[in-house]
Chain A
Amino acid sequence: MTSMQRRRDVIGGLIVMTVGTGFLTVGSDLDMGSSFRMGPGYFPNVLSVVMIALGLAISGLALRCPKGESGSTPLPWRGLLLIIGAAVFFGFAVRGLGLAPVLLGVVLASAWASRYAAVRTSVSLAAGVAAFCTFLFIQMLGLPLPLTGPWLSLEHGSPLASVLASAELPAVSGPALSK
């Protein structure tokens, strides 16, 4: 076992223990019942304890191994942020912006997670994916999502319309296009 593996397993075991403890804590107020009439808390609590034990075993076994040189790989922060962010953005904005614009955003954002990203290819990829998906999911399959959403509509009362309206009025505080 190399030192990196050792460190990794110690951390892994600790995380497993934390997850087990978390489930045990949240599930502590569930009714255990008895072995013969198990309550909703029986299974979760037993499994949480097993989980903690497994975490202990993983860390313990790793600690027993001799120490070696240490080393670590850096986390790909840009990728993590952009890709997880792209998914979160989708969830957040798909109903408001509609499928086509939100997909443009998702593809563009995630494309930038790659070191090979280039503006022209990213934009055409985003346009292609958005066009294909809106055709397939909205036209063919009837997924209940708008092509472009209410945030982009110019009807009365919609946020965009309000932004446009408020731009003409003085004394309006705060951005209307909130969240």
Chain B
Amino acid sequence: MAQLTNTYRATGLRAAPSLRQRIDLPRRVVFGAAASMIFIVVLLLAFITWQGLQLFIKDGVSIGQILSPTWQPDSTSPNLSFGLLPFIAGTVYVTALALLISTPVSVGLALFLSEVAPGWARAIVQPALEIFVGIPSVVWGWLGITILVPFLSHTFHGGMVLSLPIAGDVFRVPGFLTGFSWLAGSLVLSIMIVPTITSVSYDAFRAVPQELRTGSLALGTTRWQTIRHLLIPSALTGVLTAIVLGMTRAAGEALAVQMVIGNSPSMPAAITQPVTTLTSQITLDMGNTVFGEPWQDALWTMSLVLLVISISSVVLVRVINKRRMGA
């Protein structure tokens, strides 16, 4: 559809802009409305970057120090330290596990919707996914607290050890203390990002021309062989885009994660233990600190890290898609 519109435009239904068109008032107004987004982004980048750098400029904290694992931001603390590593590592680990859980389910769901589901099933599942998107993050967090966290602490209070005869213990996790944990955070996130990954992958699978499917099936392949050897490879860039977008959403999610993760500012040790993330720490501490004190400046630096992550993912998605256009 978009293609069609562009072709029309390219063939020049509009004549070369006359003077009247150039001072066209409506055009200016609608342009201003669209361009306001550029204004917002520039302003947001400028403010967050400026605030995020205060920790280095005003408080004289070195870049090396923020990469340390020690977080002691209270100015009364004898060894003041603004190590952001626990938060960065927490965000990365929690997001990675959430993607690990969510990607197979979401891509499977996208394949189900695009290749397997009869019309009536699609007519039920697609609206259901839209409702999923609309469920507020505090509600997900509350469900995590009232259902998931008690379930985890009741069911898996003992530690888990996987031992092999010669290699010894290859996998060992202590049991849940309270249920507030890395795993709880990742599970809540994995549900929240299902709609994102599913809808983008679904579009990628739908974009594969129908002729390729019929051609493959005519060669005598089963549906699964067609999916595995034809659809997944052809839609791979789309699926990658979907995963990056899911990652961005997971890394930036604040309240749901904060409610179930336990908020312990130490390096993540095991999936059953409480950890913390950039977003949870900002949410918790921002209200308890004073504007301008080093502790709050460190929180602004965390938000700058989040901003860098999200802008990089936008660029990454563009690079992935440009390569597809080129190929």
Do A and B truly interact?
no
* A residues lining the B interface (CB < 8 Å): none
* B residues lining the A interface (CB < 8 Å): none
